[in-house]
Structure 1
């Protein structure tokens, strides 16, 4: 693979990342080629030492998604991190997808139930005192507040469980793939420098 082919495939794989981030990554790998060529390697040898550019792009995009998740901790960042990890192929989708769908469906159902409970508590607290609620207006207010507090507790518990599940997914992927950019670059640089020189070339 030539330098131009490697960089072109890497660029294609990085589509979706912020422009500045993708530009920095491309510049890093251009530097790897410069260093390898200066050491007497051919473009093909440097490209082989760096690895598959498509896989590198997936790993770097997964790293970006995971960093966003650690920084933001919101549903959008969680979905981005999970889909980025799934894009690596680190998890056997055919086996885990049915399980994941079941877990996600259950959590979503509980979230809907918590929202319904909160709304119901509000209705009881506001309308109960005027609708002849058993025990009188005070009991209606207490019941409504209790229902709303219970729904908030359920929502908080589900949020904790969701965060734990996303973190577990990321942890599992990191057992199989190099996801951190600081770890990727030194390994790539070492691979380029340790590759055998081209026949007749000076190291």
Structure 2
């Protein structure tokens, strides 16, 4: 190979570098040929000493990329150096595989740690929101729950507490029971009846027969609690502890309050679906049965059954579901934070090892070039 052929092949192999850098390299090697020939060396001998122009170009590219990385130490520049070194054939394939697997596990570690961190943060924030704002709450101040058959839901939570209803609109009184200024207002349909129990345990029955409201009571004094006005029965809500609506279709709805008029129990059975809600105390729970499916939420567990499928989340021993969620959330938050710190530490360590390895390989390449030049 002649001097001209060598320089032409070297120029083509240096494609990808900046043009001014390529011109500088070609000028240096052209001058190197001039010096060697001036010393009496043969052109073919000089070409043989320099070796393959393609391999020489790969070494020069690796050195150039390394200088760029030293000027601006970024992961992108370091990646270019690694690719250049790999092009020299000095990276052992069987050693590279474990390193790639290590990078994969490090990436997975980042993903898992961030997932734990986000999940834990979401649980803790949700628990804190419940503790600070009291949502959801199962209490009622006697100003918002309905029972009836004309609406499209069994229960919802309102700004004033628990609202149990089958009516979707409070304003049109589509339900059969509502609260008006502390008064319990009843308007049963034909064939339906309300069974009420006072705080003293006396019974009161309200029903409609042939379009006419009727009230029956176990005691005359209890009968006086109910007043019929404009086709509706009005009762002092604070005097009633339990209210049951039995519809002509067989559906049954029962609501019970405590001494402070807070809703503590709600049972509903309609069309094969049953709902039980215990609103207060350590045994508060919600149980919803719909044929072969069931959902149970209590202080000790959350269970979902759907045919043969069964999912159950139990509280930690000695703790409620809410406190267990807080403990799990804090555990996820701590695990995610520690995992993230560990991954960052491993990344910094990996960076140092890569820098040392790259520096070592570049020094080997530069030393080889010096040996060739001396020859």
Same fold (TM over 0.5): yes
Q: Which has the higher contact order (CA 8 A, sep 6+)?
A: 1
Q: How does 1:60-71 map to 2 (within 5 A)?
A: 60-71=60-71
Q: 1:83 deviation in Å?
A: 1.4
Counterpart for residue 248 of structure 2: none
User: Which residue number in structure 2 is paired with residue 55 of structure 1?
Assistant: 55
Tell me how far apart the structure 2 counterparts of residues 21 and 161 of structure 1 sit (CA, whole Å). Answer: 33
C-alpha contact 2:119 2:333 (8 A) present in aligned 1: no
**Conserved? CA contact 2:55–2:88, under 8 Å:** yes
Aligned to 1:134: 323
The correspondence of residues 118-129 of structure 1 with structure 2, limited to 5 A, is: 118-124=117-123, 126-129=125-128
Residue 112 of structure 1: aligned partner: 111
Q: 2:347 aligned with 1:159, yes or no?
A: yes
Structure 1 pair 74–126 and aligned structure 2 pair: CA distance change class (3 A): farther
Q: 2:13, 2:54 within 8 Å by CA — same for their partners in 1? A: yes
Aligned residue pairs: how many?
A: 185
Query: Cα distance, 1:15 vs. partner?
Result: 1.6
- Structure 1: tracts of 5 or more residues without a match: 192-203
Aligned alpha-carbon RMSD (Å): 3.3
User: Within 5 Å, which residues of 2 pair with 1:1-203?
Assistant: 1-93=1-93, 95-124=94-123, 126-132=125-131, 134=323, 146=334, 149-170=337-358, 173=361, 177-179=364-366, 184=369, 186-191=370-375
Encode CA deviations 1:154-193: one digit per residue, 9 max, x unaligned. Answer: 3421321321342354256358x4236xx73x544422xx
CA offsets 1:139-161 (integer angstroms, 9 cap, x no match): 99977874664354134213213
Q: Deviations over 1:124-151 (max 9, x none)?
A: 45444214563999x9997787466435
3-state DSSP of counterpart to 1:99 = helix
Higher Cα Rg, which structure: 2
> What SS does the aligned partner of 1:134 have?
helix
Whether the aligned pair in 1 keeps the contact of 2:117 and 2:334 (CA below 8 Å) is: no
Q: Distance in 2 between matches of 1:20 and 1:145?
A: 53
Q: TM-score with structure 2 length normalisation?
A: 0.42
Shift of 1:112: 1.9
Q: 1:37, CA displacement in angstroms?
A: 2.2
Equivalent-residue separation in structure 1 for 2:122 and 2:371 (angstroms): 60
Structure with greater proportional helix content: 1
**Farther-moved stretch of structure 1 (124-133 vs 34-43):** 124-133
Cα 1:174/1:135, change in 2 over 3 Å: same
